[in-house]
Chain A
């Protein structure tokens, strides 16, 4: 379903316009439903992206390889 959502900016922009429409418009039931569905979809897309980012710290070495950061680098600042 997210294929129709380009990126955050696009998602937010569309969500904004949907909310506006719903707030001001007295739309037919079917259309309202479709807009709600789309709105929740967009909102979910954004939240999903927020959660998608992984709590991770990696080190990129000179050969371009990604490795986990040594614990010494994060332990003292890691609150979890």
Chain B
């Protein structure tokens, strides 16, 4: 600092004159130092260039106001394409130009916006080309809400609007989480808590841990990197990301946008597990499932696994029960049936290694036997049913029908018989009337030639003196023709009969 600058400021204070600095400089000099000073004026006078003065001012200000805290309201906030932030800080009556370099801006948790009341920390500097002094800001802190809270609210609002937290985006946990990815620090209690829970309650859990820094400025990019990496490990079907409890600053990485985005890009469901139950982070909103603590995240995985086991066991039990339900006895039948090739093939096809395997094979054999037994039992039931009900009833009905048939047959035969008898009588009667003997009975007789080969119908067929035979109703006569009368029509049988009648 130069003397030249010291002097007028000190003088100014001494004189307590504010309105006309020009005068105050001149007057005291003449008063205090006397004429000699004024006379030697030209020789002592130093003329500064604007730049020189400006540099001297800058040096003065930067030294004097090396670190100041100033409170005011932000306005004219603007980030230039250089990445630096320019703004004006003001109160009711004054303004202060401000600048925040990109390097410092990077660490700001919230986005400076017009109207925000802030406390700015920085130094006063001079922008030489314009002769303006300004605040070179190193840190901004919003008043009222904490900076972190504001940053949290802003990011939450933004990502929410973007749809990153939508329920529709939430993926369900796998039915059976087998390979569990964990992104956290290897230091601290969180990882040990999770391992403890998983080892105790999920005996053969397979964990893949991708260590990441979870605290400090490098934490967010490191967590994002670890999430990307673990998402690429084949077979990992769920990822837990988190850390143990701490202050809001400690947990801050989980409120960073890049972590939220990395979570949303993991190809499998993500469980967030940050801090304690009361700590809610942006990561929690972005994750598919929020666990209140790391241990709770492990419990969630265990619960999913247990639910899966229970479902399988229940189904397994029902599968067997479905078989047993039909089976009570008849195992010998089952054994007989079990000789079948279809059954014999089962154990071979299902040959498995290990104890569990053997159990299952046994279970299957039991099930199959049970099935056969069930079938066999049903068959026997059917047989019994048939014997006791169907056959018996049917036989009886047949017998009844037979008996009735018998009767009906008898009466039918009898009816036929009667009918035949009647017919026979009738026919006999008719035969009776038709019999020549009956005619003879009425007094007619039949005349034959001598050797009884021809019935005589015409008198011309015999000569006087011939022998004729006459059949009577009872007995027969041998007669000698003593005369004959010829009929006019020799061929007329009536004539012959007539001739017979005359005899």
Tell me the A residues contacting B by CB distance below 8 Å.
Answer: 7-9, 12, 15-16, 18-19, 22-23, 29, 32-33, 36-37, 39-41, 43-44, 46-47, 49-62, 64, 66, 69, 73-74, 76-80
Contact = CB atoms under 8 A, between A and B. Distances in A.
25 contacts: A12-B175, A19-B318, A22-B323, A23-B318, A33-B371, A36-B364, A36-B368, A36-B371, A37-B364, A39-B315, A40-B319, A40-B367, A46-B312, A51-B204, A51-B356, A53-B178, A57-B195, A59-B210, A60-B230, A61-B211, A66-B233, A69-B207, A73-B192, A77-B192, A77-B200
B203 A55 contact: yes
Contacts of B319: 15, 18-19, 22, 36, 39-40, 43
A9 B175 contact: yes
B195 A55 contact: no
A12 B315 contact: yes
A contact face: mostly helix, strand, loop, or mixed? helix
Contacts of B322: 19, 22-23
B205 interface: yes
Contacts of A36: 319, 323, 364, 367-368, 371
Interface centre among A7, A50, A80 (most CB of B within 10 A): A50
Contacts of A56: 206-207
B253 interface: no
Contact of B176 (A8, A44, A80): A8
A35 B424 CA distance: 76
Interface in B104-145: none
Contact of B208 (A22, A40, A43, A60): A60
B266 interface: no
A50 B350 CA distance: 18
A9 B375 CA distance: 32
A67 to B, nearest CB: 10
Contacts of A40: 319, 350, 360, 363-364, 367
A23 B363 CA distance: 18
B400 interface: no
Interface string B167-181: 000000011101100
Nearest to A41: B350
Nearest to A10: B175
B233 A50 contact: no
A54 B363 CA distance: 25
Nearest to A70: B186
Given A19-B322, A33-B342, A44-B360, A53 B204 contact: yes
B209 interface: yes
Contacts of A46: 176, 308, 312
Interface centre among B305, B371, B372 (most CB of A within 10 A): B371
A70 to B, nearest CB: 8
A63 to B, nearest CB: 9
Contact of A60 (B233, B308, B311): B233
Contacts of A61: 211
Nearest to A77: B196
Q: Which 5 A-B pairs have the closest CB atoms?
A: A77-B196, A22-B322, A60-B210, A55-B204, A8-B175
Given A15-B315, A44-B350, 20 more contacts: A8-B174, A12-B308, A19-B319, A19-B322, A29-B371, A37-B368, A43-B315, A47-B356, A50-B305, A50-B312, A52-B178, A54-B204, A55-B205, A58-B208, A60-B208, A60-B210, A60-B230, A74-B199, A79-B199, A80-B199
